[in-house]
Amino acid sequence: MNNTIFIINTVSPIFLIVAIGWILRKRNIINESFIKQSTNFVFKITIPVLVFIKLESVDFKELFDSNIIILIYSGMLFTFFLAWTISILLIKKGTGRGVFIQGSFWPNNVILGLALVINIFGEIAVSKMIMVLVFLLPLQYTLSVIALTVSDNTEKRSRAVARMIKSIITNPIIISAILAIIFSLINIKLPRVLFNTGNYLAAITLPLALIGLGGSLRIKQLQSLSIITIGSSILKLLISPIIATTVGYFVGYRGADLGVIYIIFSSPTAVVSYIIADSMTPHGKLAGNIVLITTLLSAITIPLGLIILNQLLLI
C-alpha cells in the first residue's frame, strides 16, 4: 500500500455501494422482499461459493496460522468481557445489557470485512481472512447467545442454546469452508468448468451483499442516542481495534496480516446480531440502532485507521 489516495480509492467504493443500496430502497427501486431474498441468496449460495473457491485453491497447510487465530480469539474474548464488565457498571439488568455486549464485539466481517480485504490486500489476505472466519464464527454465535441469555436474565435459554448449535452446524459458510479445507488437504482440484462457474457466482457476492446492507439501514428509525448505543459504538469502532492492532504489532505482525487484524476488529456490528437480538429479547430496535450507528460511523473510522497505519508504515 503506497499512499493515502490508494486507501481512499479502495475503501470509499465499498461504503458508496452501501449508500447506493440505501438510496435504491428510499426510491423504492428495491424493496423489503428483494433485500430479504438477495440476502438469503448471498448467505446460502454466493458467500459459501466464494469461501470455497478462495480456500480450495490455496495450500491450507501453508496458509494456516494458529498464532493469528489465537490472537483474534483472545481479542474477541477480551472485548466481550470488557463490554460485560462495563455493562454491569453502567446498565441496569433487563434494559439491554446483552445487546450492548453483543454490539460491542460482533463485527460484520462476512460482508464489509471481506469486501475491504479483497479491495485492499489481495488474494492471499482474503484466504487468510476466510481461514480466520471459519474458527471465529462459532465463537461469535456462542458469545452472542451467552450475552443475550445470561446478562439480561432473558428467558428461553434452552431454546437459544439449541438455536445456536443448529446455526453453527448448519451454517453454509462453515460447511463450505470445511469442504474446501478437505479438498485442499487431500489436493483435490475442481474441474475448470466448475471453478469458472464458481468464480462468476463469487463475483456478485459483495456488490449484492453491500446493496442489501444499505437497503436494510433505517436511518429514520434511529432512536435517541443512549449510553448503550454510544458505549457499544465506541468499544466496537475505537477501543477494540486499537487494542487488537497494538497487540498484533507487538506480536510481530505487519503488512496484510496486521491489516486483516485491524479490519476484523474495526468492522461495524454485524446485521445478524440484530436478527438474533430481535428474536430473543425485547431490545431488537436497540440492537438495530447499534448496527446502524456503527455502520455509518465506520465509513469514517475504518479509512482513518487504515491511513494512520499506512503513515506509520505498518501496512
* b/e per residue 193-206 (b: at least 16 CB within 10 A): eeeeebeebbebbb
pLDDT tens sequence across 224-255: 678 899 999 999 999 999 999 999 999 999 99
pLDDT tens sequence across 86-138: 999 999 888 889 999 999 999 999 899 999 999 999 888 999 999 999 899 99
What pLDDT, on the 0 to 100 scale, is given for residue 252? 95
Least confident range of 34-38, 97-101, 111-115, 186-190: 186-190
Percent of the chain at pLDDT above 70? 96
Tallying the residues shown for the chain, one arrives at 315
* Residue 107, φ and ψ in degrees, nearest 5: -90, 155
What pLDDT, on the 0 to 100 scale, is given for residue 167? 81
Tally the C-alpha atoms within 13 A of residue 259's C-alpha that lie toward its C-beta. Answer: 28
Look at 223 and 45; give whichever has higher pLDDT.
45
Task: Set out the domains of the chain in order of their start, with CATH numbers.
Answer: 4-311 (1.20.1530.20)
What pLDDT, on the 0 to 100 scale, is given for residue 156? 59
> CA gyration radius for the chain?
19
Of residues 102, 107, 110, the one with CA closest to residue 43: 110
Look at 220 and 207; give whichever has higher pLDDT.
207
Collapsed DSSP state (helix, strand, coil) of residue 107: strand
Q: How confident is the model at residue 215 (pLDDT cuts 50, 70, 90)?
A: very high
Q: State the average pLDDT over residues 15-40.
A: 94
Q: How confident is the model at residue 266 (pLDDT cuts 50, 70, 90)?
A: very high
Q: State the average pLDDT over residues 275-285.
A: 86
Cα 250 to Cα 117, 128, 243, 258: the distances in Å are 22, 20, 11, 11
Is 190 in contact with 257 (CB distance < 8 Å)? no
Collapsed DSSP state (helix, strand, coil) of residue 252: coil
What pLDDT, on the 0 to 100 scale, is given for residue 262? 97
Q: State the average pLDDT over residues 172-201.
A: 91
Percent of the chain at pLDDT above 90? 65
What distance in Å separates the CA atoms of residue 278 and residue 264, rounded to the nearest whole number? 24
